Amino acid sequence: MKCYRIAAVPGDGTGPEVIREGRKVLDTAAKKFGFKIEWTDYDLGGARYLKTGELLPDSALAEFRKQDAIYLGAIGDPGVKPGILEKGILLRLRFELDQYINLRPIKLYPGVDCPFKERGPDDIDFVVVRENTEGLYTGTGGFLKKGTQDEVAIQVSINTRKGVERCIRYAFEYCRKRDRKKQLTLCGKTNVLTFAFDLWERAFYEVAKEYPEIKTAYAHVDATTMWMVKNPEQFDVIVTDNMFGDIITDLGAMLQGGMGVAAGGNLNPEGVSMFEPIGGSAPKYTGRNVINPMAAILAGMMMLDHLGETKAAGAIEAAVVKTIQEDLKCMDAGKMGLGTTEVGNRVAKNLG
Ligand code: IPM
Ligand code: MN
Q: Indicate if ligand 1 lies below 6 Å from the C-beta of 247.
A: no
* Alpha carbon of 243 to ligand 1 centroid (Å): 9
Atom of ligand 1 nearest to the CA of 276: 9
Residue 86 beta carbon below 6 angstroms from any ligand 1 atom: yes
pLDDT, average across residues 242-254: 98
Q: Domain 125-255 adopts which CATH fold? A: Isopropylmalate Dehydrogenase (3.40.718)
Tell me the CA–centroid distance for residue 314 and ligand 1, in Å: 27
Question: Does the structure show a pLDDT above 90 at 245?
Answer: yes
Q: What number is the average pLDDT over the span 174-191?
A: 98
Query: Is 271 in a helix, a strand, or coil?
Result: coil
Is 72 touching ligand 1 by the criterion CB < 6 Å?
A: no
Instruction: Return the pLDDT at 118.
Output: 82
Assess whether pLDDT exceeds 90 at residue 116. no
Q: What percent of the chain has pLDDT over 70?
A: 100
**Its pTM surpasses 0.85:** yes
What are the residues whose beta carbons fall under 8 Å from the beta carbon of 106, sequence distance 6 or more? 124, 125, 126, 127, 128, 232, 249, 252, 253, 255, 256, 262
Mean pLDDT confidence for 71-100: 97
321 Cβ contact partners less than 8 Å away, ≥ 6 residues apart: 109, 110, 111
Secondary structure (DSSP) of 8-65: EEEESTTHHHHHHHHHHHHHHHHHHHTEEEEEEE---SHHHHHHH--SS-HHHHHHHT
Q: How many residues does the chain have?
A: 352
Residue nearest to atom 9 of ligand 1 (CA): 278
Nearest CA to ligand 1 atom 5: 86
For the cut 90, the answer to whether the pLDDT of residue 129 exceeds it is yes
CATH code, 1-99+273-352: 3.40.718.10
**94 CA: nearest ligand 1 atom:** 12
120 band by pLDDT with thresholds 50, 70 and 90: confident
Nearest atom, ligand 1, residue 246 CA: 10
User: Is 96 touching ligand 1 by the criterion CB < 6 Å?
Assistant: no
CA of 32 to the centre of ligand 1 (A): 34
Q: What is the pLDDT of residue 117?
A: 79
Using CA atoms, how far apart are residues 311 and 115, in angstroms rounded to an integer? 32
Under the banding of pLDDT at 50, 70 and 90, the label for residue 164 is very high
- Span from the CA of 60 to the centroid of ligand 2 (angstroms): 24
For ligand 1, atom 10, the nearest C-alpha belongs to 246
Atom number, ligand 1, closest to the C-alpha of residue 249: 10
In 3D space, the residue among 164, 211, 221 whose CA is nearest the CA of residue 183 turns out to be 211
Percent of the chain with pLDDT over 90: 96
Ligand 1 atom with minimal separation from the 102 CA: 9
Within this chain, domains 1-99+273-352 and 125-255 share the same CATH topology: yes
Interval 203-229: pLDDT, tens: 999 999 999 999 999 999 999 999 999
- Taking CA atoms, 203 is separated from 161, 209, 339, in Å, by 8, 10, 47
Check pocket membership of 77 for ligand 1, CB cut-off 6 A: no
Expressed in angstroms and rounded, the spacing between residue 242 Cα and the centre of ligand 1 is 10
- The mean per-residue pLDDT over the stretch 266-282 comes to 96
Q: How far is CA 333 from CA 207, 281, 282, in A?
A: 42, 12, 10
Mean pLDDT computed over every residue of the chain: 97
Domain layout of the chain by residue ranges: 1-99+273-352, 125-255
